[in-house]
């Protein structure tokens, strides 16, 4: 029985090989179509990026600055290396659409002409990404099971000075964003927060909190305590 199956499989493999060898024209055409599609896609992506660049200049540059580098106390960097590695298209899209209530970040869903405009802005921001897209792994990272009471203590000692006593952000006279408000917490996964706390954000006051080069050397457990505390603020 097994022998027969193996022979059948071998036969099928030989047939497939024959088909591949005898059908070069078919293969060529398939490649040509793929290449054509890839070219058309690249073209439409660069059109989208160009459109996003124009919309950015009209709507965002006053706060987020040229090329989205940000300005302390005014608006964060949105072309930042770490942010763009972990932010999903959905995170960026919804943040632009809904803005961040209780912060200066407006809801552009009410301002821009259409959803396509937001897609173009996302494409423009993503065009600054260097390195791998980690957004799927970040999304799938574990849910924090830390102790919020301890997290409150770490937060007040280490984070509140920049992010405000309860994560109010600039409204709390801080240089950091409103990480205790629903505008951020409703869209950021635990993996997203964890990654930024560990790795920081290059060229901003937000340095990493892990390892001896960090602003403070927080353990994984302590970072999870802080995330669990932020979740009860939400
Ligand atoms: C009036 C100033 C202002 C304008 C205009 C503005 N933003 Fe913002 N934006 C902010 C502030 C302030 C924050 C941070 C809010 C907080 O504390 O959470 C922010 C946050 C963001 C974030 C989240 C960044 C992060 O670090 O998680 C994105 C993405 C963003 N803005 C995109 C845009 C885009 C795209 C535009 C233009 C369509 C725009 N913003 C226009 C002030 C502004
Ligand atoms: C020295 C000031 C400072 C300290 C201390 C600090 N942060 Fe930040 N943090 C910032 C700034 C500034 C930003 C925004 C960076 C930018 O401009 O892109 C930020 C951004 C963040 C973000 C991304 C928020 C967003 O809008 O996407 C998270 C999450 C964060 N910090 C968590 C923390 C936690 C948790 C602590 C304490 C363990 C902490 N930070 C301590 C200054 C600080």
Quote the pTM value.
0.86
147-183: pLDDT as tens digits = 999 999 999 999 999 999 999 999 988 899 999 999 9
Q: Does residue 177's CB lie within 6 angstroms of at least one atom of ligand 2?
A: yes
Q: Does residue 209's CB lie within 6 angstroms of at least one atom of ligand 2?
A: yes
Phi, psi of 71 (to 5 degrees): -150, 125
- Torsion angle, CA of 165/85/105/111, rounded to 10 degrees? -160
CA-wise closest residue to 231 among 181, 194, 197:
181
Neighbours of 163 (CB within 10 A): 23
CA separation for the pair 219, 234 (Å, rounded): 23
Q: How far is the CA of 46 from the centre of ligand 2 (A)?
A: 32
Look over the chain and give the mean of its residue pLDDT values, rounded to a whole number.
87
94-130: pLDDT as tens digits = 999 999 999 999 999 989 989 999 999 999 999 999 9
pLDDT at residue 65 above 50? yes
CATH number, domain 135-233: 1.10.760.10
CA separation for the pair 162, 151 (Å, rounded): 16
Look at residue 151 in the predicted model and tell me its pLDDT: 98
| Three-state DSSP state, 71 | strand
Which ligand places an atom closest to the C-alpha of 233?
2
Residue whose CA is at the smallest distance from ligand 1 atom 10: 105
Q: How far is the CA of 143 from the centre of ligand 1 (A)?
A: 26
Query: H helices of the chain, where?
Result: 2-22, 24-59, 61-64, 81-86, 89-98, 115-126, 135-140, 148-154, 160-163, 182-185, 190-199, 220-233
Q: Does residue 169's CB lie within 6 angstroms of at least one atom of ligand 1?
A: yes
175-218: pLDDT as tens digits = 999 999 999 999 999 999 999 999 999 999 999 888 766 567 89
Look at residue 71 in the predicted model and tell me its pLDDT: 95
């Amino acid at each position: 029985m097994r022998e027969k199956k193996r022979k059948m499989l071998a036969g099928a493999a030989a047939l497939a090989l024959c088909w591949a060898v005898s059908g070069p024209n078919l293969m060529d055409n398939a490649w040509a179509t793929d290449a054509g599609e890839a070219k058309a896609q690249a073209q439409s992506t660069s059109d989208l990026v160009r459109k996003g660049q124009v919309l950015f200049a009209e709507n965002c540059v006053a706060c987020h600055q040229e090329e989205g580098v940000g300005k302390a106390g005014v608006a964060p960097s949105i072309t930042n290396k770490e942010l763009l590695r972990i932010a999903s298209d959905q995170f960026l899209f919804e943040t632009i659409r809904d803005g961040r209530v209780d912060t200066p970040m407006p809801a552009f869903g009410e301002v821009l002409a259409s959803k396509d405009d937001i897609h173009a802005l996302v494409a423009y921001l993503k065009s600054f990404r260097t390195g791998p897209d980690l957004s799927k792994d970040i999304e799938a990272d574990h849910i924090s099971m830390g102790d919020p009471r301890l997290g409150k203590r770490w937060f007040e000692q280490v984070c509140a000075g920049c992010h405000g006593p309860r994560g109010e952000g600039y409204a709390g006279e801080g240089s950091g964003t409103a990480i205790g408000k629903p505008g951020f917490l409703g869209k950021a996964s635990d993996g997203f927060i964890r990654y930024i706390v560990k790795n920081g954000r290059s060229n901003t006051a937000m340095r990493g909190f892990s390892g001896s080069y960090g602003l403070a050397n927080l353990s994984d457990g302590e970072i999870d305590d802080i995330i669990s505390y932020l979740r009860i603020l939400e």
